[in-house]
Amino acid sequence: MLDLKDKLVVALDVNTLKEVRKLVNTLRGKVKFYKITNRLLAQYGPKVLQIVRKMGGKVFLDLKFHDIPNTVQYSCYSSTSSGSSIMLQSICSYLPAGLKENQGFKNIIQAQYPVFMITVHTDAGVEGLRSAVKGAKERAEELHIDRPLIVGVTLLTSEKPEADALGIVLERAHWVKEAGLDGVVCSALEARKVREAFGNEFIIVTPGIRPKGYSANDQKRVTTAREAIDAGANYIVVGRPILDAKDPLKAIKDLSD
């Protein structure tokens, strides 16, 4: 049986904060990482991130930033933490270096609810991808927290291009590597070749994960959790197989088989 605790990312594709709290509470101790998209952020803003962090989860912010480099930079700057940076920047500017190691100061940092991972779409181009790293790094340094991982979305698992999917993913993975990002989001069907090309330090996030016999829904390129991990995935993203289950914990166990 697979141990998914350090690999499973549950997609919080639900509609209310009540559903968020219920699911995260149910999965507490079994799931570390939760993916949040505009589906929740458009309605509830940073509050949803704060709920997940307060309940012990880590946030994978999947907004697929794709814009001019300046906008991508400041989008990643703003997304690095869900707290208020203006007040904290003011505090930091007056604190002696030694005081920043004080436990009280660290508690203020913790209240910022740092984000674990952010997505940028590779269509932003190499310059846009570089800007993403620049923005996140600047904000993290201001807040004295670790920079979130930044991964480039190569090709959606709902897409089935006429051209060679592997060729597209590998080309965009090269852009990601050149720009200094941490890795890519791609299907497990391309993950093995990405791992071979870019080495063990390159992060690979694979959506489109389905247990055997489960409907692919709108996904075109799907695999099982085991197939994804065997192909080199660091993280697997799972939504509907868990969200639609009467027993989410059993659904996770089924993924592990």
CATH number at residue 237: 3.20.20.70
| Residue 95 falls inside a structural domain | no
Q: Is 241 within the bounds of a domain?
A: yes
Q: Where residue 10 falls among pLDDT bands split at 50, 70, 90?
A: very high
> Which residue among the candidates 7, 32, 35, 64 is catalytic per the annotation?
64
104 domain-assigned: no
Q: Look at residue 2 and tell me if it is in a domain.
A: no
Structural domain for 202, as ranges: 8-85+112-256
Pick 52 or 162 by higher pLDDT: 52
pLDDT tens-digit series, residues 205-225: 999 888 776 555 555 567 899
Give the model confidence (pLDDT) of 25-37 as tens digits: 999 989 999 999 9
Question: Is residue 176 very low, low, confident or very high in pLDDT (cuts 50, 70, 90)?
Answer: very high
Which band of pLDDT confidence, cut at 50, 70 and 90, is reported for residue 178?
A: very high
64 flagged as catalytic: yes
The pTM assigned to this predicted structure is 0.85
C-alpha distances out from residue 25 to 20, 22, 31, 40, 112, Å = 8, 5, 10, 17, 21
Q: Is residue 105 part of a domain?
A: no
Residue 96 pLDDT > 80? no
Whether residue 165 lies inside any domain: the answer is: yes
Q: 102 lies in a domain? A: no
Q: Is residue 207 part of a domain?
A: yes
Q: How many distinct structural domains can be found in the chain?
A: 1
